[in-house]
Structure 1
Amino acid sequence: MQSRPLSEFCLLSRSKINLFLQIGPVIPEIGLHRLTTVMQELEYADDIRFRYSPPCATRATLQSYIPPPDSSAKSVQYELGNWLMRITVRGDVESPLNESNLCLRAMNVYYADFIKQLPLSEDSVRPYRFFALDLHKRIPTGAGLGGGSSNAATVLLVLNELFEAINFETNLPNLAQTLGSDVPYFLYGETALCSGVRGEVYPLPPLPKLGVLLLIPPRQVSAGAAFAAWDGLTVGESTVTEIEMIDTEEHIRSFSWTQPDRILWSALKNDFEALDEYHNTVAALRSRLADLGALHTQLSGSGPTVFALFPDRAAAEAANISFDATDRDGSSVYEDWQRIVTETYNSRSYIDGKGA
């Protein structure tokens, strides 16, 4: 018997780059570094298809809406109270279907917060609901592009679109912070200054559409490992004070972000580039990509992805075609690196289509 039709959202869960990243002192109470970073959303994205049933009075009625799982892809199904969840992952990028999956964690934290707010009497019956999230992964994990954080924020936004249960301006960012420091940024996207420990977000005037060339090595780097390497490099002592970071943030706000020809590109930086595993590689790529017309080249996040900005997508495409994967001594240094041409993205329209 064919299942009843489900309503659905079709979404793009976009990646990001860090135009600026400064690592500050460790906050003793929580053992995490204070950060100042400017994030920029990109067109490069994962696809998410989000399907859901209407509220059902009984489990038997709910069963009539549940389609069979796709046998050609990995999926997991589990229950949260009267909610039945299914997450399916496909694509060339591995995404674990366990408690570390940020989509699962986002569903869990939203459900827990949502249920707390329901004013139910003892004889009330919570309706049964089915949710199916089909995630097509393109953004590599552990690449400094925020793929998992973007997925989590997208799930929170969709659930809140359906239920409008959590105040967007206050409670939803707080919920996002429990999932990771980058997740609150993806509730807003565009060009934004993110500061502090938990990723407080301050929108900036949007950077116009620029071409972007992503160069992604065939390895993952966890943020924890990168910070441990940074602490080893600085012997646990911050290279910048809290007051200096506040001054930096004020300076960043004054940048002419809407006019690339007026941005002082040399003022942008990523402190992680000082690590031994990045320093020489990024410097070599910066020189090579400048010869191909790049406005700016930098490490994204905690690495290992390096990005280059160009005046437009056509210029980025041309640089990608002209890029020589061999080093000056003839060795094949970059042959196994993935190269992606994309663009900066500046629109807060996360939901691209809504099914009836």
Structure 2
Amino acid sequence: MGKQLQVQAPAKINLSLDIVGLREDGYHLMEMVMQSVSLSDTITIEETAEKGIFLSSNIPYIPNDQRNIAYKAATAFYNHTKIEYQGVSIQLHKRIPSGAGLGGGSADGAAVLVGLNELYQTKLSMDELIAIGQKVGADIPFCLVGGTCFVEGIGEKITPLHNMPSCYIVIAKPYKSINTKLAFTAYDNATDIHHPNTQALLQGIEQKDLAKISSEICNVFEQTIQLKEITKIKQTMKKYGVMNAMMTGSGSAVFGIFTDESQAYKCVGKLKRQRFFAYLTKPISHGVQCTPQTTD
């Protein structure tokens, strides 16, 4: 067995998501406040004698080839570093639900970049990793940096902020997922969009004012997506004293901010009984993190 290491890949939520323009190439320009949470995938990376990228997962329907963002990230890393590699095994233990707006795929891609950088001791800087990652997935730069950040452009401009105040974040996802391309199309065809007051949200973070942060969370996608389950999740969260609840990313997961741990825990139980995927998480102050395991 060659050198092996594990990387924890945290999920993200969007405290705000705004679309502020369109680039000439058709990509939407974004302004987002993003937050890492304690729900994470675990990626195990190990050198192999056989040449190639060998990807496996605990979720049977996830592709294990170049369609997977983790595989794409590994390919991009090798193309950038020109490493003559023997081979690598990448095992994904997924806990972050897919099609949720929680950045699970991007977190896995970011974890692969950090893991391979450690495995081969290539000493690429964070800026270099971001440059590789942004070509693979729009949320990879944030997943690399993590914590609480203001994110602009198409996801490549990252400004770290003060850590979000301590709280409990309940995340719930319906069985239905939302296609990101369709979400953008729905937004493009919509009128009367209420946009986030991003500056007020940034001020709330600066002041470590959880009430202000909660009152300013906003996602333009939620206004254009007709999914009754989202409304049901938010109604359930309100019964357990949520400060505010909002869809994350392009959906379909919803997060709610709580100050009372026991109420948040009860809310998760209720949401599970309603047949939603539900998780009790906390905000964290970091992105993907690497832990060396064993060395021959």
TM-score, structure 2 as length reference: 0.89
Aligned to 2:254: 306
Equivalent residue in structure 2 for 1:149, among 96, 103, 106: 106
Contact 1:35-1:197 at 8 Å conserved across structures? yes
Q: Does 1:6 find its partner at 2:2?
A: yes
Aligned to 2:72: 105
State the distance in 1 between where 2:215 and 2:3 align.
49
State the distance in 2 between where 1:310 and 1:239 align.
24
**Which runs of 5 or more residues in structure 2 are unaligned?**
none
- Structure 1 residues 310, 137: closer, same or farther in 2, change over 3 A? same
Q: Does 1:343 find its partner at 2:282?
A: yes
Q: Does 1:272 find its partner at 2:221?
A: yes
Instruction: Compute the displacement of 1:172 (Å).
Output: 1.6
- Structure 1 residues 267, 198: closer, same or farther in 2, change over 3 A? closer
Instruction: Compute the displacement of 1:8 (Å).
Output: 0.9
Instruction: Compute the displacement of 1:239 (Å).
Output: 7.6
User: In structure 1, what residue type is equivalent to 2:77?
Assistant: Y
Q: Does 1:296 find its partner at 2:247?
A: no
State the distance in 1 between where 2:105 and 2:212 align.
30
Instruction: Compute the displacement of 1:250 (Å).
Output: 4.7
Structure with max Cα Rg: 1
Farther-moved stretch of structure 1 (34-43 vs 248-257): 248-257
TM-score, structure 1 as length reference: 0.75
State the distance in 2 between where 1:165 and 1:134 align.
21
Contact 1:211-1:315 at 8 Å conserved across structures? no
User: In structure 2, what residue type is equivalent to 1:90?
Assistant: N
State the distance in 1 between where 2:288 and 2:141 align.
16
Contact 1:143-1:216 at 8 Å conserved across structures? yes
Q: Does 1:85 find its partner at 2:53?
A: yes
Equivalent residue in structure 2 for 1:96, among 63, 70, 74: 63
Identity of aligned residues (%): 24
Contact 1:313-1:343 at 8 Å conserved across structures? no
Residue 173 of structure 1: SS of its match in structure 2? helix
Q: Does 1:213 find its partner at 2:170?
A: yes
Contact 2:146-2:288 at 8 Å conserved across structures? no
Contact 1:208-1:346 at 8 Å conserved across structures? no
Aligned to 2:294: 355
Equivalent residue in structure 2 for 1:256, among 180, 192, 205: 205
Contact 1:209-1:346 at 8 Å conserved across structures? no
- Structure 1 residues 181, 100: closer, same or farther in 2, change over 3 A? same
Aligned residues: 295
Contact 1:256-1:262 at 8 Å conserved across structures? no
Contact 2:8-2:288 at 8 Å conserved across structures? no
Farther-moved stretch of structure 1 (101-110 vs 265-274): 265-274
Residue-by-residue CA offset, 1:123-166 (whole Å, 9 max, x unaligned)? xxx5x523111111222221111000000000011111233436
